[in-house]
Amino acid sequence: MTTYLAEPVVFGEQPLSIENINVLSQRRAQVLLQDDAAYREMIAKGPRFLDTLLDKEGVIYGVTTGYGDSCVVAVPLHQVEALPRHLYTFHGCGLGQLLDEASTRAVLAARLQSLCQGVSGVRVELLERLRAFLEHDVLPLIPEEGSVGASGDLTPLSYVAATLSGEREVLFKGEHRSAAEVHAELGWTPLVLRPKEALALMNGTAVMTALACLAFSRAEYLLKLATRIT
């Protein structure tokens, strides 16, 4: 059983601090998700709204259209369910070394907190699975080199989306293993991402934010050290 040195970190409507992200990156705090009925209803409104638009055959960017400059390309309704998988598959082209464990935990925490604001159209089940990844230390293997900036950390975050879906590889209990195998060991069913969910996971700056939080912590330490030395 893990012994935590800090107070639990609750993901939900309230903001997190840089210190929260850094504590989680070192596995020093339990990870909780806001669980009151009002909060869950707020999260559920997003997917319901998307379903309403789809029922009306409305045009929804990244759901019934392509992405970026391809937004003028319509996606037939019978292919809408397949679009999320194609999105994270297309971006799975990272290179270089893998992010270290602390950085990967920070990425998961930053992405979870962003989605917890209830404006991304994702299900509470996706939030719970991200929380479970942190709690059980299931870490997607994310290459350091890939698209970062502008419209989001698309390539590195595709590895988060894919592993939530039981694809690609994760670090679990010190070993590189297939995400599908780890899901089975933990008794989880891999998520089948709904329309908009892959876009919500990938089109953000969670990697930049996470690495900036860790960099801030190192800079703060060096500042204190330099002050004491002088």
Q: What CATH code is carried by the domain that includes residue 139?
A: 1.10.275.10
Does 151 map to a domain?
Answer: yes
pLDDT tens for each residue of 50-62: 888 888 777 888 8
pLDDT at 113: 97
Does 93 map to a domain?
Answer: yes
Please say if the pLDDT value at position 63 is more than 90: no
> The domain containing residue 85 runs over which residues?
9-229
Please report, rounded to a whole number, the percentage of residues in the chain having pLDDT higher than 70. Answer: 97
Closest CA to 105 of 130, 127, 86: 130
Closest CA to 32 of 141, 99, 109, 87: 109
Please, which pLDDT band fits residue 148 given cuts at 50, 70 and 90? low
pLDDT at 1: 58
Report yes or no: 40 and 124 within 8 Å, Cβ to Cβ.
Answer: yes
Does 31 map to a domain?
Answer: yes
Angle at 20 between CA 18 and CA 22, to 5 degrees: 70
Does 1 map to a domain?
Answer: no
Does 219 map to a domain?
Answer: yes
Mean pLDDT of 13-18: 94
pLDDT at 58: 73
pLDDT tens for each residue of 174-223: 999 999 999 999 999 999 999 899 999 999 899 999 999 999 999 999 99
Q: How far apart are CA 52 and CA 208, in angstroms?
A: 34
Cα Dmax for the chain:
67
Please report, rounded to a whole number, the percentage of residues in the chain having pLDDT higher than 90. Answer: 77
pLDDT at 178: 98
Number of domains in the chain: 1
Please, which pLDDT band fits residue 100 given cuts at 50, 70 and 90? very high
Does 3 map to a domain?
Answer: no
**Burial zone of 13 (CB within 10 Å; 0-12 exposed, 13-18 middle, 19+ buried):** middle
| pTM, entire model | 0.93
Report yes or no: 156 and 94 within 8 Å, Cβ to Cβ.
Answer: yes
Catalogue the active-site residues. 61
Radius of gyration of the chain (CA): 18
Please say if the pLDDT value at position 117 is more than 70: yes
Classify the C-alpha dihedral 181-186-192-196 as positive or negative.
negative
pLDDT tens for each residue of 27-37: 999 999 999 99
Burial code of 191-230, b = ≥16 C-beta within 10 A, e = fewer?
bebbbbbbbbbbbbbbbbbbbebbeebeeeeeeeeeeeee
Place of tokens 């929380």: 131
Strands 9-11 vs 31-33: parallel, antiparallel or unpaired: parallel
Does 210 map to a domain?
Answer: yes
